[in-house]
A and B are shown apart, each in its own frame.
Chain A
């Protein structure tokens, strides 16, 4: 048993690890890699008598998690701002495609209920493939990318009413036929329902109550719970709680007969403004990635090549026909909504496939006796094939269509990029001032801090802070470092700051990094790690204290100011010079050039001191007036 499980896990993980990097390198995207991996291992799985469909049902939880993450990305306000395109583009795309595909299916001889189900299933596109590819190719912020996102989002939401609508299309004869041998499995399902056997209105009440409890729980319950968990400062505990949270919602939704994806999507939107958003995102994301990968592999493994080889022309013909229909509808919408040039093509070709929700809906239609299994199998094949073809369309777009439009897209994208956000890591006394200054000047910041109690205090003063350890690459990713314009590192830990600088300057060279240094050696470390804007946390206040001392000693305030400025300049110069000699690999006292130069500078300073200030004093003395003879005499007297 254990060996079986380990073997299966080994095969699945191994196939992914081999196929995905190859596919990514070939520019085909990770999804296609998983699909191909699944196709390759399908004979092995068959030989081992693995129940691929059972694994697929398990892996479908990745879709639930993905919708949670989609919800997290979607603040209610953003949703509202997108409403025009979301409803217009998205709504017309789903309606138009459903209508034409349904008509085509009727023309091919399907009853209208089955045809409508086919239309609904095939109207959806693949969020996973399209978003992943747009992000990979940097097209997300172009007009075509934004329009695609609106449509995908509408589709993700449209799944929910579809899940409600599809059971109404059930064919009585299918149900009766199935009833005999499905009865026992149904009992299993029915055993876990809150609404079974209730009159309609009571069931509706229970359903509404369940949704309301998700919303209310998201608003009022999550904060104290997550805060309590965060106090323990154990990362795995937080991950476990986040999983518990999602599984719990999915369970509740299943119990009242709603889509778990709907529940987690709502929970995601509710938590989009929460300070735990980025932490949740980075905690759930690996699970989503793994499960979706597994899901795509099972899709690949489930491609019925026997069926394909039986009637290749009709299946491939229908696949191409479907993609032509979808692309045509999208092209018409692009024209109506005034998408221009390359954006129009990106939008039309990018969304021309059927999507992963198609699989979910197909198994759902079969389970609800809407569609004969034979039809669903063929459709599964069509969906999978259309997904396989999508990367080729993207390559077509990139190599053939984009060059014709003279790179206009790329330039427009840059302009939008320039309003990237600012991430402030750590909101103690140091980061707090930086953040307040940025906000005062009208900039938007994303603040990360892992002290739960600090968070609570700041929230009380309406400071928007997210819970999470900024030194974790995945959390930083969730906070949007890839699109960020600037990162201010104001955390207390010296080593962690250096590591963070190294990670960000090498992985995201476009991000401007300002780092807080603890002392002189930390400055060198940060410099070596690639940071070019380093602020010593106590230096400026020390200089001000020195200036106050000058003033109190009777030096004219303006003179004191100049002396302080010269001191700062000298010190920075020195620091800059030593930073080049500093080598993080070699302990300072073994670094010969460093030690040599430090000795020289120290000797210079001693000599200057002996002469009463040396260069420092000379620079301070070169003022607006040429000193008179008396001045010179007086100065010399003072020095002697």
Chain B
């Protein structure tokens, strides 16, 4: 039982990390960034490339080196996110939402199959594998690596929350979320702030990608698709646009899946998650912590 809860919390922290980026982009420009899950995949591959090129160092300093690689991959993925925003989303800023969503699907495909061209169709084995020692808490076996990863995830979330709630940049983001036109009139550089939001959201997804790669050990070019869906599900469950909601939703989804897997079997895990999403949305369309949105006409 404790083991199930622990597994759920662990997976949930990945979901939460990816869901944060979803939620942030959605909150600011009301765009479902379909390619977000694929940025997670890009992050995993950037980390993979860095780790294989530095393989001499990683043998000795695995955890420290991994953190450095994590940071570098976050920067790389963040830049990829900014590039996507610039190429695929910015030209359509005033277009109908449907066309934006379709370019997002296009961006998702371009990332997946672009990575397939670069890295090949076969799964890659991560050079660093976090396994090793574990501690026993309340009857559950908890890996030290898991603890570290959860710690990193929580640190990143706290940092993001502080940034959005306290800093000038964060205030600009919240202002744009409320009313982009008024923000521009008040001297906010809307394009730049949105690009920055994309950078941060993508960097978080990239971090989750590297962490997942080093934990599960194998990555492939389609790994982002399903996690993107799950992260969106998490964001919706928590109330999309709300940071605390994204974190809460991630954890809830992780726990649900852990219990679903335990009682129904692993092959039904995704069915369970999506069925829950559909049912949940019919009962509470704004999510757990979401506010009721009044649509501007």
Partners in one complex: no
Interface residues of B (CB under 8 A from A): none
Interface residues of A (CB under 8 A from B): none
